[in-house]
Amino acid sequence: MPRLSVWFVRASLLYLAGGFMLGALLLAQKGVPYFAGVWTLFPVHIEFLLVGWLMQFAMGVGFWILPRFGRGAPRGNESMIWGAFVMLNAGILLTASQIWVAWLAPVGRAFELASVLTYIIGSWRRVKPMVLGPEGLEVH
């Protein structure tokens, strides 16, 4: 697993833990009400699990397992994907900060959009058919 995928997947595991923690607080509030204000955390719960966990995990695993190039950098322009990683996580944290400053939500979403577009551009050419050589081994 390349280093960048390690960062993506470990970050996704942190968001998984954080998102589940918030979900548990919300569900417990439904069962035995203890503090109604906990519902302000609902958008953060959604953000952490859908973007922080599921989307980020998919991006990390995609960077790891998509077909590599035979010549040049095997996974294409890695700097671009690092940029996508940084923008995605900045976007998640900014979007989550909407619980304090409402206008940070669209700013965070814009970071997430920029991240995903960068990731798609950086990965586009890696979505390609596998070519087998005469001995049945993969040729790039």
Partner 1 sequence: MPTLTRWFIKTAFVCLGLGLIAGVLLGLQSTLNLTSMGAVFPIYIHLLVFGWLSQLIFGVVYWMFPKYSVEKPRRSERLGWWTYGLLNSGLLLRAIGEPVQSLQPNEIAGWVLVLSAAMQLAAGLTFSINSWTRVKEK
| CB distance 81 to 119 below 8 Å | yes
Residue 67 CB, nearest approach to partner 1 (Å): 17
Residue 42 CB, nearest approach to partner 1 (Å): 11
Q: Which of 107, 46, 112, 106 is nearest to 83 (CA)?
A: 112
φ, ψ at 80 (rounded to 5°): -60, -45
Tell me whether residue 46 or residue 110 sits nearer to partner 1 (CB atom): 46
Residue 32 CB, nearest approach to partner 1 (Å): 5
Tell me whether residue 3 or residue 103 sits nearer to partner 1 (CB atom): 3
Q: Please state, in angstroms and rounded to a whole number, the distance separating the CA atoms of residues 136 and 105.
A: 50
φ, ψ at 33 (rounded to 5°): -55, 130
**Which residues form the interface with partner 1 (CB under 8 A)?**
1-3, 5-6, 9-10, 13-14, 16-17, 19-21, 23-28, 30-32, 49-50, 53-54, 57
Tell me whether residue 19 or residue 91 sits nearer to partner 1 (CB atom): 19
